[in-house]
Amino acid sequence: DNTLYPKSLGIFDLVIERIRNYLEVRLGYEKERARELRQESLRKYGSTLRGLMIHQNVDPADYLEYVHDVGVEERLTPNPDLAQLLKSIPCDRAIFTSGHRPHALKVLRCLGVEEFYLRHRLHPLHPQAQPGELYRQILECVGLEGTASWISKSDTFCSSREFSNSRDFPSNLYSRKSIRRPPGWSGHRPWLPG
């Protein structure tokens, strides 16, 4: 979210609202406690879901389906500039996400870039999953070790032993240091028209 399309569309804001709603409606937390719990889980575990899995035994499939029910089809349209950019990369390409696969596939379809399918889905929801380890899994999956430059949260891998990735939030940059990759952030900047 917020990398293949502009943050200004508010899709991730809707996901956050659904997370709050999940905490209040499904789990019965008061509004203020739900906000505190979400912030605490983000700080301590990197995501609300990981905290809920550890402390509340929340079913991740139910949570992910609930919070990603935000109507992306009504907000996203095909982006030929993005498709052209992805096609212009002269190497093997794959899009990885730690997010909800059905949501990610829906986003790709709406943007008209579904040919850059999710080759492999990482599942960082296990309480012991560490972000640095997830990046190592990505590199291992595509057999790469080379240098890194970060342009979007959706990861693009080149057979020339280069690795390209970008992040949506500054807080997601820290783990790249653990695999000796230069962190970069493209959030809050429109990088493609449309």
Same domain, 149 and 61: no
Residue 125 confidence (pLDDT) above 70: no
CATH of the domain at 59: 1.10.150.450
Q: How many CB atoms lie within 10 A of CB 146?
A: 12
Same domain, 63 and 88: no
Decide if 146 is inside a domain: yes
Contacts of 22 (CB under 8 A, 6+ apart): 63, 66, 67
Same domain, 15 and 93: no
Decide if 173 is inside a domain: yes
Q: What is the pLDDT of residue 131?
A: 58
Decide if 191 is inside a domain: no
Same domain, 49 and 92: no
Same domain, 33 and 109: no
> Domain total for the chain?
2
Contacts of 45 (CB under 8 A, 6+ apart): 51, 54, 127
Decide if 194 is inside a domain: no
Q: What is the pLDDT of residue 101?
A: 82
Among the candidates 29, 44, 72, a domain finishes at 72
Same domain, 91 and 157: yes
Same domain, 112 and 129: yes
Same domain, 82 and 172: yes
User: Residue 170 is part of which domain span?
Assistant: 77-177
- Which of 21-30, 48-57, 156-165 is predicted most confidently? 21-30
Residue 150 confidence (pLDDT) above 50: no
* Mean pLDDT within 92-120: 80
Q: How many CB atoms lie within 10 A of CB 1?
A: 24
Q: What is the pLDDT of residue 98?
A: 67
Roughly how many angstroms between the first and final C-alpha of the chain, as a whole number?
A: 15
Q: 2-16, 46-60, 101-115, 155-169: lowest mean pLDDT where?
A: 155-169
Among the candidates 47, 72, 97, a domain finishes at 72
Contact 187, 167 (CB under 8 A): yes
Q: Which is more confident, 191 or 70?
A: 70
